[in-house]
Amino acid sequence: MSAADPQLDRTLTFLRARYAEMGLPVRAMPDGRCLLVSLPVGPAPFESPAGPLVIERIVFTTIDAGRIKCLRPRPFFGLPIIDVRDARDATGIEAAIRRAWRERVRGLRDVERWLSGMFIESELVEGGSTLAFQLPGESPDARVHLNERQTAILPSRGPLEGLPLDAPGERLAPLDRALDSGADLECHLSARLDALRRAGQKREAARRTQVALDAEEEPAPTRDALPAPAPRAAAPIRHRPRVLLVGSQLLEDGDLREALGQQGFRIATARSEPEALMRLARTTPDLVVSEYALGRSDGATLVAATRSVAGIEGVPVVLLDDAKHEARRAAARAVGAAGYIVGPRDPRRFVARLGQLVASPGKRRFTRYAGRFDARLQGLTAPCIATEVGRGGVFLATDADVALHTAMRCEVALPEVGRELGFEGEVLYRAEAQGALPGIGLRFRDISADDEEALIAYLAAREQGRLDR
């Protein structure tokens, strides 16, 4: 916790004492801006359209002094932020969560009856927390989602895939009560999709035309002009950091993507919070940059959700907003966002600031898990053991004399999952023998998607085991 923000310190101290008094396991997140709490729940099942859900505990994070966001199990992640100011004990918090869940279930059952009455086949997805159905003529992965009668969430796949939208909220289609047949509903949604598709194609064509015009307007150099000073040679990029861009507008920001590419960033994208969390379940970025407005979610909720992902609790998340909102800024600070930036941005300066953030180990520290794993460094005969494994890299106990920033091929065996991981690493630091094993810290530079998913699954299992103790 930062001494520069005594109010935040007091709030977390109060919350920690409050939940500890309730007998709930609680721990501060690495950035010290919110708490992760494990709530055992009573034996009564949670009723859902899919049948009773028997749940032993719910993990939630604090948003501020009076609100929480459920993170696990998966069906509860879709619940809105819950007010627990009136809860006097753990039973009161559980009651507030159960009320929010009952409200969600009522909405789902209403939607299910409505769709069934129009002979539209739907299924429960995302752990039974939302309904989905396929529009005629669309691919199976381009499905409409509903968890209330008034609004449908149009698919980002299919007709809208890769197209710029004015705002993420464009994919939310209001549903008129007059839609009383399946054909009317499907026509209504198909027409909405087609209109968004045509508008997106038009915007994309206009953007490309403007780029071409801007290129033509650049003045050609004259023969009498003085030669421009030679640019400074850029420092060699040893590590190409990965950044995850979240939000439709960021995905279409060509200037930002160009600036990131010039600075050596590797870019991954997600249009929504659920899509971002799916990516974080398979890959590990050095940094997340997200729009604050994310349709049915928001940046503060995304930050809180990342804090529950095993091994990357400290990954920095920067939130961008079009206009200043004090409530949003307060929420961003409360959940530990690395930054809340408002208004137009100069892409080059902004990316330079991101580079400084990524270069600061204290601001992007990943959890490392202790163990003893057989390891091999290609080209070296010195024995080595991996004594710490994390999403960002490994620590190898070895007497091998390796220079800093050397790129090395490494293999580490994970017997618990019956797999050997192979990756290209970069030597970040050496640890001398001072009461501990000498060795080297190796950061991942290149690891296959399969090996990375296997590693993340292993770390998630380790994290879950620690939380459940």
Q: Is the peptide bond before 73 cis (omega within 30 degrees of 0)?
A: yes
pLDDT band at 432 (very low <50, low <70, confident <90, very high): low
Domain range enclosing 335: 242-363
Does residue 220 lie in a domain region? Answer: no
Give dist(CA 155, CA 112) in Å, integer: 19
CATH number where 246 lies = 3.40.50.2300
Residues 52, 86 within the same domain: yes
- Strand pairing category for 242-246 and 266-270: parallel
Residues 357, 397 within the same domain: no
Question: For tokens 């995905």, what's the residue?
Answer: 251
Q: Is the pLDDT of residue 459 over 80?
A: yes
Does residue 212 lie in a domain region? Answer: no
Give dist(CA 324, CA 312) in Å, integer: 28
Does residue 218 lie in a domain region? Answer: no
pLDDT band at 429 (very low <50, low <70, confident <90, very high): confident
Q: Which of 343, 363, 383 delimits the end of a domain? A: 363
How many domains, in total, are found in the chain? 4
Q: Which residues does 103 contact at the CB level (< 8 Å), separation at least 6? A: none
Give dist(CA 170, CA 153) in Å, integer: 9
Give dist(CA 271, CA 250) in Å, integer: 9
pLDDT band at 66 (very low <50, low <70, confident <90, very high): confident
List the structure tokens of 285: 């970025």
Does residue 175 lie in a domain region? Answer: yes
| The residue type at 292 | Y
Residues 313, 396 within the same domain: no
Residue 360 has a pLDDT of 65
pLDDT band at 32 (very low <50, low <70, confident <90, very high): low
Q: What angle do CA 197, 319, 327 make, to 5 degrees?
A: 105
Q: Residue 56: phi, psi to the nearest 5?
A: -90, -35
Question: For tokens 């890299």, what's the residue?
Answer: 393
111: left (phi over 0), alpha (psi -120 to 50) or beta: alpha
Q: What angle do CA 110, 295, 316 make, to 5 degrees?
A: 130
Q: Residue 199: phi, psi to the nearest 5?
A: -65, -40
| Segment 165-178 mean pLDDT | 72
Give per-residue pLDDT as tens, 414-423. 877 778 889 9
One-character DSSP codes across 337-404: -SEEEES---HHHHHHHHHHHHH-GGGSPPPEEEEEEEEEETT--S-EEEEEEESSEEEEEE-----T
Residue 130 belongs to what H/E stretch?
Answer: strand 130-134
List the structure tokens of 51: 């049948």
Residue 222 has a pLDDT of 41
Residues 170, 249 within the same domain: no
Q: Is the pLDDT of residue 288 over 70?
A: yes
Higher pLDDT, 94 or 138: 94
How many Cβ atoms are within 10 Å of 254's Cβ, its own excluded? 14
Does residue 129 lie in a domain region? Answer: no
pLDDT band at 165 (very low <50, low <70, confident <90, very high): low
Does residue 263 lie in a domain region? Answer: yes
- Under 8 Å between Cβ of 398 and 383: yes
Q: Which of 300, 334, 363 delimits the end of a domain? A: 363
Residues 353, 381 within the same domain: no
Higher pLDDT, 273 or 64: 273
Residue 164 has a pLDDT of 64
Residue 363 has a pLDDT of 56
Give dist(CA 315, CA 463) in Å, integer: 16
Per-chain mean pLDDT for the chain: 80
Residues 25, 71 within the same domain: yes
How many Cβ atoms are within 10 Å of 247's Cβ, its own excluded? 27
Residues 374, 345 within the same domain: no
Give per-residue pLDDT as tens, 359-404. 765 555 677 788 888 888 988 877 788 888 988 889 888 888 888 8
Residues 442, 359 within the same domain: no
CATH number where 404 lies = 2.40.10.220
Residue 225 has a pLDDT of 40
pLDDT band at 4 (very low <50, low <70, confident <90, very high): very low
Cross-strand pairs, 153: 145, 172
Give dist(CA 100, CA 113) in Å, integer: 20
List the structure tokens of 330: 């307060």
Residues 429, 323 within the same domain: no
Residues 307, 372 within the same domain: no
Give dist(CA 285, CA 297) in Å, integer: 21
Q: Which of 348, 363, 378 delimits the end of a domain? A: 363
pTM for the structure as a whole = 0.49
Does residue 32 lie in a domain region? Answer: yes
Residues 317, 416 within the same domain: no
How many Cβ atoms are within 10 Å of 399's Cβ, its own excluded? 11
- Rg (Cα) of the chain, in Å, rounded? 25
Residues 309, 249 within the same domain: yes
Does residue 146 lie in a domain region? Answer: yes
